[in-house]
Amino acid sequence: MTLAAPVTGGARDRAFLSPTRRASLTYVAFFGAIGAAWPYLPVYYRELGLDLGAIGLIAALSAATQLVAAPIWGALADRFARSRMTLPAAALVAAGGAVGLAYARDLPGVAATAFVLAFGIAGIGPVLDARSLDLLGADKIRYGQLRAWGSLAFVVTAWVVGLLLDRAGVPALFLVYVPGLVLTALVAASIPRSHVTRGVSIVRGARTLVLAPGMRLFLFGTLLVWGLLAAVTAFYSIQVVALGGLPATVGVAWAIGAIVEVPLMYGFPRLAARFGTERLIVLGALAFAVRAAAAAVARDPTALVLISPMEGIGFALSFVGGVAYVSHRAPPGLAATAQGVYSATSGLATILGAGVGGIVAAALTIPGLFAACAAGGAGAAAVVAIAVMTQPATEVGGTQGRRRGLAAAREDPA
């Protein structure tokens, strides 16, 4: 077997160290690291003495960095398509930022190290997604089956690290976060290089993607959905603690949400074959709005834990569906650039969501913020529905998409 050749399933996928399994292991390492930090960093910032506005500012800064850095990393991956080093380099930059953040004690130090961390993180997700889609070849609908392993790793580390922080304190999250990012770099270095040749310039390719029929409206709807989600996410863990929850409770809330993601991501081909990718994307957007509405009226940490599955439903359907939707419109040889554009949209959304969310939370309280996000989320879902449901049936999620999904569902490889 030639490791650098595209892999599409069958016997090659069943090999223990097949290229797609290496991609799955990279998702495990990366999202295992994310699970150690993502639920707890807002609590860590709070322990450092930062107010809600400053926490929102840090989240917005990180998102602004992602907005710029994700397309840069994607362009580098496409420019040096035969190199294995783009992913490891991004992971190592992120690890360096995490080390610095562990020692930061004031707002300038936190902001500077969070910038480095975000710059590295921005290059892992979209490039790994593009590399995985490239390995899958015509079976792109199976992307969720690779990504599901990352959600499973998130579940385990979010729960275990929550228990660790109850005993050792919130700063102990870096004892798992930093090694997880380093492990991501090591595993990512084993993923085969791409054989795709770039056919158009990166700038022209990104412009072609954005100007494709329906893409501008889809990206605008995505901006709204992820922005409102970011506003809720930035203060969800803080609200769990404010209502009397412990760090372990925070971990359980995020772990339960991620548990729901696993079967939905893995079973996405079957769901797409039955319902169509467009409908799944819209359903995911609506799930975010329902979760925000329920969080607005929650009065104890247990309630916030019980509604956390809605976040998992929304993320699995919106994210996997969105990646597939964008990948089918990427110009030849610019898969990573296309995913970088998609990731940059979520970065801009986080800037707006976290930044404005901090202001709204300070003025209306956190439950007031959640209520506003619920109302806005319904409108955002409507925009996404208009964008994806008006596409030709031969596009993603239409007749052709359902046929591909049905074929992948019948194979349903382990």
Domains in the chain with CATH codes? 18-193+201-409 (1.20.1250.20)
Tell me which residue of 117, 47, 72, 130 sits closest to 327, measured CA to CA.
130
Query: What are the Cα distances from residue 203, in Å, to 127, 207, 219, 225, 349?
Result: 17, 6, 17, 26, 22
| CA–CA dist 245, 284 (Å, integer) | 27
Is the per-residue pLDDT at 98 higher than 90? yes
Token pair of 94 as six digits = 């992120």
Q: How confident is the model at residue 117 (pLDDT cuts 50, 70, 90)?
A: very high
Instruction: Report the range out of 32-46, 282-296, 339-353, 387-401 with the highest average pLDDT.
Output: 282-296
121, two tokens: 């993180």
What integer pLDDT is reported at residue 359 of this predicted model? 81
Angle between helices 143-168 and 125-136 (to 10 degrees): 150
Q: Where are the alpha helices (DSSP H) in 50-197?
A: 52-79, 86-103, 107-121, 125-136, 143-168, 174-188
For the segment 173-198, the average pLDDT, to the nearest whole number, is 82
- What is the pLDDT at residue 256? 81
What is the separation of C-alpha 73 from the centre of its chain, rounded to a whole number of angstroms? 16
Distance CA 332, CA 167 (A): 51
Judge if pTM exceeds 0.85.
no
206 pLDDT tier (thresholds 50, 70, 90):
low
- Residue whose C-alpha is closest to residue 202's, from 130, 272, 140, 141: 130
Q: How far is CA 90 from CA 53, 116, 120, 186, 352, in A?
A: 29, 10, 5, 11, 24
Higher pLDDT, 230 or 13: 230
Handedness of CA 131, 287, 280, 229 (dihedral sign): negative
